[in-house]
Structure 1
């Protein structure tokens, strides 16, 4: 499956609707009690970008983007305006936002992650598509201006020298969601003024 490192137009994605989805199996017992099991270990995000189309030019841009991706064939980047930073929406990403690992004196690569916590529970999300130029890294709370690199196509941080044993490795970043169109057809409606609209343009997160 091909992935193209191009981002869906920001001015249209800003008006999109969607978010995380989970899959849970629920069995209701004769007693009225329930048994619940998670079918998915991780969530998957769905969006509908039709809500972001406000002008005929927006419609033309989406059709062009759809054709260039060959419908569902090629994946691409999408900015989820509700969740695109390692920190709170009102803050600027900092080098200590997220713990991505602990040094052992040998490991030189660390995957970018974001943790979602509520009370004593948390879930860790792997971040594969950081935004170029946005990543900041720290060792033991001290930001590192050099000595490391980031692969913006995988989210892997690589150090020239392995962080020492017990050293906290942290990072801050902005990121995109890897998605694909979840349809091979766009149902365009033209009104009398030749302005167009599309009822639904579904996008689905690509999990690898």
Structure 2
């Protein structure tokens, strides 16, 4: 990914409330990034309390966990010039795919360049899962973790006699660490019940 266009320091918009408001204007036309030299990593607004002095979370996109926190005065605002822009190592599916692979579960991107992911089971059933952004963009696994709102999955089976033991599930705390861990646990349990494919 090329560096974002014209990033700037929020000199007169340095409060968290102003930054969140600017991020929401125009349905996400402003992205909040780290200000560490040329590391333009998108940050998630996840305050730990109403008075949290470091409300911006930087995630490890491979593991799905917060690795650093940033104060509002130490971030950059950058316009989003391309709504389809993807920062590969911050995609919402990256850490999920890594963890599923480690558990021996086959999971492949599908539909429109990977906006869903698909897991087939030995018994003929399957599950599709995807994410939703804070701006209401549904069925996408390609947006940055920083824009995460929820993760969900839909279980399907062509076996009419199969018990309805696997309802659709949604994980929507808004915290990627929590939601992605819950999704991985749910998908792993499904694969254990219905059989891993190779």
* TM, length-normalised to structure 2: 0.24
**For the pair shown, which has the larger CA radius of gyration, 1 or 2?**
1
Tell me which protein shows more helix as a share of its residues. Answer: 2
Give the structure with the larger strand fraction: 1
